[in-house]
Amino acid sequence: MIRGHEAMISSQLLISGVIFGLSIGSIYFLLAIGLSLCFGLMRIISLDQLLYYSLGAYLTYTVTLMTGSMWIGVLAGMAFSGVASLAVERFIFRRIYARDPTFSMITSFGILIGGVGIIKYFWGVVPRPVEVPTLIQVGIFGTEIPVYRLIVVAIACVVYIAIWFFLHRTIVGKAIRAAIEDVEHVEGLGINVSRLFTITFVIAGALSGLAGGLHAPLIMVDPSMGLETLAFVFMVVIIGGLGSIKGTLISALVVGQVVSLGSIIYAPMAQMAPFVIMLLVLLIKPTGLYGSAVISR
């Protein structure tokens, strides 16, 4: 496909494509980890994570306009998403934990659609741009790469390590991992499971908000951005397997690269290729790469 005299340009294109894919994959990872954790612990499919993603992006937009600093905007978006998810968890999800996972999917889809309506009410339907905080470019193998994308990747790495430490080294995290295995036992040990649920949900919501805030400068912020990202996040979660953080990381990286490199080869393929990969994975393993075959509850 690549001819000899174009090799120089192509290698540059390739490197920037890989970096682009890494940054997209990082954002998908931040989003998918919330969905995956919520499913693992509470056995709910929380589509409203996409709402916190949009809210995070919009808050980033507004606060960036007000303060001039995009990083304060991202923090504000993250905080607001956390608060919003806390409210949703308290008033809605509390009532439906005991039900079937698909039940929560319908409810959370309702929250997502309603949230899109709220966003339209406050911010209107016009897409909004968010300025990139730093326009510095660095050279990697002779290719100019925007430093912002590298920062996004670094933040995702930090989040992965932090989540790993939280789950493996703190007592609350250990309780969460135990509850993923067997929630009744953990409850029997006298641990407040409903507080664990709240903590997990708020962490998931805040991470989705962070993903939205970080994604905002790379795209236009518009009300249906959550719905547009939905399919990709689903693919990431399904390829990786629901409830597995390691699987989510690997599949987020794969989907990011496929989207980015696919669009270099043939633009419409960027959307289709992850879907084909997902179908292939499901053909071989119906629960995704790292998903468990049985639900213990």
Partner 1 sequence: MFAKGTSNMQAINALKWWGGMLLAFGLLGASRLVLPLPFLNEVVIYSVYAIGCNFLIGRVGYISFGQPAYLAIGAYATAFYLFYFGTNPYVGILVGVLGGLVMSLVVGPLFVRLRSDYFAMVNLALAVIVFYLMQKVLVGITQGDNGLWFLTRISSTPVLDLTRPNHFFIFALIVALLVWVFYKYLDDSIYGACCLATKVNENKLQFLGYNNFSIRLFAFVIANTTTALAGAMYAIYLGFVSPEMASPSRSADPVIVTLLGGVGTLFGPLVGAIAYTGMKDVLSKMIGNWELFIGFLLVFIMLVADKGIWGSLEPVLDKWLFRKKTATAINDPGTRSND
Binding stretches for partner 1 (CB under 8 A): 39, 45, 92, 95-96, 100-103, 105-107, 109-118, 120-121, 224, 227-228, 230-231, 234-235, 237-238, 242, 268, 271-272, 275, 278-279, 282-283, 286-288, 295
Q: Which is nearer to partner 1, 45 or 245 (CB)?
A: 45
Nearest CB to partner 1, comparing residues 45 and 203: 45
Query: CA 129, CA 135: separation in Å to the nearest integer?
Result: 15
- Residue number, 175 or 233, with CB nearest to partner 1: 233
16 φ, ψ (degrees, to nearest 5): -65, -35
Ramachandran class of 142: left when φ > 0, alpha when ψ lies in -120 to 50, beta otherwise: left
Report in angstroms how near the CB of residue 238 gets to partner 1 at its nearest.
6
Q: Give min distance, CB of 227 to partner 1, in A.
A: 4
Give me the least distance between CB of 253 and partner 1, in Å please.
19
Contact (Cβ atoms closer than 8 angstroms) between residue 130 and residue 61: yes
Q: Phi and psi (nearest 5°) for 144? A: -80, 120
Find the shortest distance in angstroms from Cβ 242 to partner 1: 7
| DSSP result, 107-162 | HHHHHHHHHHHHHHHHH-SS-B----S---EEEETTEEEEHHHHHHHHHHHHHHHH
Q: Which is nearer to partner 1, 124 or 188 (CB)?
A: 124
- Nearest by Cα to 40 from 197, 172, 159: 197
> Between residues 95 and 168, which has the closer beta carbon with respect to partner 1?
95
The total number of residues shown for the chain amounts to 297
Please check whether residue 152 is in contact with residue 30, taking contact to mean a CB–CB distance below 8 angstroms.
no
Q: Which lies closer to partner 1 via its Cβ, residue 35 or residue 76?
A: 35
User: How far apart are CB 216 and partner 1 at their closest, in Å?
Assistant: 20
- Strand-pairing partners, residue 138, are 145
Amino acid at position 4, single letter:
G
Least distance from C-beta 31 to partner 1, angstroms?
14
